[in-house]
Amino acid sequence: MTGTDVLDLWDASAREHPAAPALVTVHRVLSYRDADRLTDAWAASLAARGARSGELVGLAFGDPARTVLGMLAALKAGAGFTVLDERLPPTARAELVDRTAAAVWLGDGCHAPEGAYVPAAPDSGDGADGPEGPGAARPTARAAASDAAYVLFTSGSTGRPKGTVVERDALRRFAIAVAGRLGLTPRDRWLQVASLGFDVLIEEVFPAFAAGAAVVCREDSRALDAEELHIALSRTRTTVVELSTQYWLEYARWLEHTGTTTPADLRTVVVGGERMDPRPYRAWQARQPAGLAHVYGLTECTVSSTFYTGLLPDDAEEVPLGTPLRDVEISIRRDGRRVPDGETGEIHIGGPLLARGFLDDEAATARRFVPDPEAARPGARLYATGDLGRIDADGQLVFRGRADDQIKIRGYRLEPARVERALCAVAGVGQAVVFPDPEAGTALWAFTVPADPASAPLPGGAERLTGADRDALVAPLEAELPDWAVPRVLYRVSALPKNPHGKVDKRRLATWATAGAGTGAGAGVGAPPVPGEPLGGVLDLFREVLDAPGLGPDDDFFDHGGQSLLAMRLLARLRESHPAAAGLRASALFASPTPRLLAKALADRENART
């Protein structure tokens, strides 16, 4: 793996393995030769429309395969790329489109900006040569190592997500390092499952291409539940897949419950995004043939920085974050100075994989990308992660918590202040605090204090918000924030309690919420079950998955903390006891979000089968 540009890695794979699969889709397998010719043509089309060094190409496809092709084409045109997540609400999408000021947009569907176009599709069969045809030559302009490869956005505390600018040399080094650490070869197939606006997409694509391996793409960007994931892994003969911590836990739970093992071809499951409990990690290593790679990293440092692939010792209290990738420097510091191994401090990341900084935000860049006071190399920088950690006796990085209030929700970093500020902008809300649910950590809880004390509940208790009260708070947030950042369980309190250090006592708030479980407007109410409907079993599963014993037959799944991962779990449990649930997608819950409606949908499916 040589060369000075990230595209040299692609060119080497295309030259050495021209007939090997590069992109596997539901409809077609594109060889390196075919994908190379097609992306050359796309690059020519982009260059003709103004894409070049110093510019960005925007990608707004719902199709993962076209997104991957667009990433390659943008780099071939000398430009960088940005990917627009179709799940963002319209206001947030419009702001990101404006901020990136992309020279050209490729995309289709309702979330694509005005003026976006779709080049020749990989399965179009159009063989006509020309300035945009499959025979068009790649642009000759060569980009510099310091040019932007891509810009992806992360959460910001001010309500403006930060655009992280990663340069081409950092992407090249990263692809080589991950391919080497995982031992990727041309025989590997990496299944793409991450959201298209998430930085894990970068890790799913470029290390595979650097090794001459194949990227396997789904038909669309819809999330797969555990059973669908297992089927996809088996059918595509996938060897490597990367899952967020909570997603992996759902898959591990499904495997255990069904008595199934990972598919024969699957050799490595990369897991990261949140703290890992050692118990399921050990259980997996004891039962499953596929190995685990626990990773840690940030968008600002080019995705993953450390990997742990060892067998977890029986006495380990934490799953290590691992050791640094090639070209990554990890240090534990206090006040900018290293601390001895074994001591806790803030994790700092250095080396050539650091991003250039934040798009059009010099102040934030200077605040987080700081000079290294101990470096011998002039201009050396560090990224202060805000994570606490230590280096253990084996040289492994171990996570010890956060130095600030930043949290992780389903693998996404989030500044709670961003959500709290949005809540306080809603009429009638005086104060707000949000944090992950204490049990699973997969959804946000929100506690609000009314601006009018007369509307507050009695002190020392939390009133669960449902119906119109809940909708009045959630609707403005859904118009501004991505789905995973919107609180799904909301409470009203008379005041936010403080601990002895003067900070909001989140533990006491959680206790108030638990003590009031099943109370509040609409909780546990509704007409009795209808004879002949399988409501009893469905209602029990809703209560089990949501951990809400007081849930009623007409209570909404999403109003009571439900989200995509819990929907996966509910559908998996339903399939065990209801044959009519076979093939039912998690999206069915949007149409039938209550136990009664879902029970009726199951009954209708059963009747249609008989």
Predicted confidence (pLDDT) per residue in 279-289, tens digit: 999 999 999 99
Closest CA to 161 of 102, 226, 118, 98: 98
pTM reported for the whole predicted model: 0.79
The answer to whether 42 touches 117, Cβ cutoff 8 Å, is no
Q: Is the pLDDT of residue 325 over 90?
A: yes
- With cut-offs at 50, 70 and 90, classify the pLDDT of residue 174: very high
3-state secondary structure 450-461: ECCHHHCCCCCC
The answer to whether 469 touches 455, Cβ cutoff 8 Å, is no
Q: Is the pLDDT of residue 559 over 60?
A: yes
Joined tokens for residue 145: 């190592």
Residues 6 or more apart from 259 whose CB is under 8 A from it?
none
Q: Which long-range contacts (CB under 8 A, 24 or more apart) does 253-260 make?
A: 253/226, 253/569, 253/572, 254/226, 254/227, 254/230, 254/572, 255/226, 255/230, 255/287, 255/288, 256/283, 256/287, 257/572, 257/576, 260/230
Strand (E) or helix (H) holding 205 = helix 200-210
How high is the pLDDT of residue 516? 63
Predicted confidence (pLDDT) per residue in 203-222, tens digit: 999 999 999 999 999 988 88
Going 574 to 575 to 580 to 584, the CA torsion angle's sign is positive
Over the range 552-572, which residues count as b (16 or more CB within 10 Å of their CB) and which as e? Answer: bbebbbbbbbbbbbbbbbbbb
Q: Name the 3-class secondary structure at 17.
A: coil
Phi/psi at 156 (5° precision): -125, 150
DSSP letter at 177? Answer: H
Residue 205 or residue 603, greater confidence: 205
Distance CA 498, CA 130 (A): 68
- With cut-offs at 50, 70 and 90, classify the pLDDT of residue 121: low
Residue 339 or residue 161, greater confidence: 339
Distance CA 124, CA 96 (A): 30
The stretch 117-130 carries a mean pLDDT of 56
Residues 6 or more apart from 15 whose CB is under 8 A from it?
none
- With cut-offs at 50, 70 and 90, classify the pLDDT of residue 17: very high
The stretch 26-35 carries a mean pLDDT of 94
Predicted confidence (pLDDT) per residue in 484-503, tens digit: 788 888 999 988 887 765 67
How high is the pLDDT of residue 365? 93
Q: Is the pLDDT of residue 560 over 60?
A: yes
Phi/psi at 4 (5° precision): -115, -5
Joined tokens for residue 30: 């594109």
The answer to whether 226 touches 249, Cβ cutoff 8 Å, is no
Q: Is the pLDDT of residue 128 over 80?
A: no
How far is C-alpha 213 from the chain's CA centre? 23
Going 168 to 169 to 172 to 177, the CA torsion angle's sign is negative
Distance CA 287, CA 279 (A): 12
Predicted confidence (pLDDT) per residue in 227-263, tens digit: 899 999 999 999 999 999 888 988 998 999 889 999 9
- With cut-offs at 50, 70 and 90, classify the pLDDT of residue 25: very high
Strands 381-391 and 397-402: antiparallel
Q: Is the pLDDT of residue 294 over 50?
A: yes
Tell me the CA end-to-end span of the chain in Å, nearest whole number: 59
Q: Is the pLDDT of residue 183 over 80?
A: yes
- Percentages helix, strand, coil for the chain (3-state, rounded to 5) are 35, 20, 45
In terms of Cβ atoms closer than 10 Å to its own Cβ (0-12, 13-18, 19+), residue 342 is: exposed
Residue 425 or residue 83, greater confidence: 83
Residue 559 or residue 57, greater confidence: 57
Phi/psi at 393 (5° precision): -65, -20
Q: Is the pLDDT of residue 440 over 70?
A: no
The stretch 569-579 carries a mean pLDDT of 80
The Cα-based distances of 473 to 105, 161, 463, 465 in angstroms read: 34, 21, 14, 9
Residues 6 or more apart from 406 whose CB is under 8 A from it?
386, 413, 414, 415, 416
Question: Lowest-pLDDT range, 191-195, 228-232, 507-511?
Answer: 507-511
The Cα-based distances of 15 to 9, 20, 36, 155, 598 in angstroms read: 10, 10, 10, 40, 53
The stretch 369-375 carries a mean pLDDT of 88
How high is the pLDDT of residue 213? 98
Number of neighbouring beta carbons within 10 Å of residue 514:
12
How high is the pLDDT of residue 496? 85
> Which ranges of 259-296 would DSSP assign to H, the alpha helix?
278-287
Distance CA 325, CA 304 (A): 8
How high is the pLDDT of residue 502? 63
Distance CA 72, CA 51 (A): 13
Question: Lowest-pLDDT range, 19-28, 348-357, 480-489, 578-587?
Answer: 578-587
Closest CA to 54 of 40, 39, 74, 83: 74
The stretch 152-168 carries a mean pLDDT of 79
Highest mean pLDDT among 183-197, 444-458, 506-520: 183-197
The stretch 531-547 carries a mean pLDDT of 74
Joined tokens for residue 457: 């509940």
Percentage, residues of the chain above pLDDT 70 = 91
Max CA pair span of the chain: 77
* Identity of the amino acid at 495: A
Strand (E) or helix (H) holding 92 = helix 90-100
Q: Is the pLDDT of residue 123 over 80?
A: no
Predicted confidence (pLDDT) per residue in 405-415, tens digit: 677 776 677 87
How far is C-alpha 94 from the chain's CA centre? 21
What angle do the packed helices 467-478 and 416-424 form, to 10 degrees?
A: 120
Please provide the average confidence, as pLDDT, over all residues in the chain: 86
Residue 329 or residue 513, greater confidence: 329
Q: Is the pLDDT of residue 528 over 60?
A: no
| E strand intervals along 309-356 | 323-324, 329-334, 337-338, 345-350
How high is the pLDDT of residue 525? 41
Residue 391 or residue 520, greater confidence: 391
How high is the pLDDT of residue 554? 83
Highest mean pLDDT among 157-166, 364-373, 479-488, 562-571: 364-373
Closest CA to 254 of 601, 575, 602, 608: 575
Residues 6 or more apart from 196 whose CB is under 8 A from it?
59, 61, 64, 67, 83, 85, 86, 221
* Region for 210 from its dihedrals, namely left if φ exceeds 0, alpha if ψ lies in -120 to 50, beta otherwise: alpha
